[in-house]
Amino acid sequence: QADRATVSAQFCWKLLKSSTMNFSSAATVLFMACLNASSSGFVFVNPPTQRIARTFVATPAKALATTSLHAASDPDDEIAAIHRNADATFAIIDVDGGGTLSRAELTNHLSVSGYNTETIDKIFNKMDVNKDDEISRQEFRDGMILLTALQSAPGLGNYNAEFAKEMCEDADQVFQSADADGNGEIDKEELRSHIGRSFANYSEAAIDEIFRQIDANSDGTITQEEFRDAFCKSSALRQAIGEGPNYK
């Protein structure tokens, strides 16, 4: 099974480098190839180290430091970083703010990233450990640790961290759009208004939780630095709040 996954992954990487498909679509194809190649559900395959040809310039070392998942060296710190990223992603997917993820919520979220129904069902079933047909926050946390491939999967992880420079530029543009009064901070009403313009299905509770996840120091406002940090780390947040002109 692992050999099949490796062959599929190598094929997708060749396809990615030789085609004009956008990075998000190619990354999704690669992830689904690795997922579907295993009868048990998930196979983690380390991709080639060769840089993918794109029009973006290489990311400076400083930008890579924005990804706490890769920066953590101590195992406990790494687990804590995965949990923080998982909580932020969970908040984005939990559209009704109910504190659990339904199959419909996960499907709606991952469909935008190009996943097919079979793949989404596999992810849901793996995470729904107690088989109550919903994913709790703890189950989602545990799933992100146990199913390693999800940590770099489109819509769930930080799958294109090497282009953090461009994502930070996008974050600044989205921040300016959300900062309606131009005071350099986003309050909860501004975030609610910004999300509501394109994503009216988010409940008040869901937006409150998204705000809490971005507001790192819990002072009731989101600074540009806080917004940039969250935006660059989370592909789910980029998908939910606005991707910006550099998104491919």
Which residue, among 121, 143, 218, 157, has the nearest Cα to 30 in the 3D structure? 157
Per-residue pLDDT of the chain in tens (248 residues, 90 and over written 9): 444 444 444 444 444 444 444 445 555 555 555 555 443 444 333 333 333 333 322 232 332 233 333 444 577 888 998 898 899 899 999 999 999 999 999 999 999 888 999 999 999 999 999 999 999 999 999 999 998 888 888 888 764 556 767 777 888 889 999 999 999 999 999 998 888 766 657 888 888 988 998 999 999 999 999 998 888 878 788 877 765 544 44
Cα-based distances in Å from 215 to 81, 122, 141, 210, 229:
16, 33, 20, 9, 10
Q: How far apart are the first and last CA of the chain?
A: 31
Give just the sign of the alpha carbon dihedral 71, 136, 34, 238. Answer: negative
The region, left, alpha or beta by phi > 0 then psi within -120 to 50, assigned to residue 52 is beta
pTM of the entire predicted model: 0.64
Cα 206–chain centre separation? 17
Which residue, among 41, 146, 151, 133, has the nearest Cα to 86 in the 3D structure? 151
Q: Are 167 and 58 in contact (CB under 8 A)?
A: no
Residue with tokens 């703010």: 97
Strand ranges, E, within the chain: 100-101, 135-136, 185-186, 222-223
Segment 217-222 long-range contacts (CB within 8 Å, at least 24 positions apart): 220/187, 220/188, 221/185, 221/186, 221/187, 222/185, 222/186, 222/187, 222/191
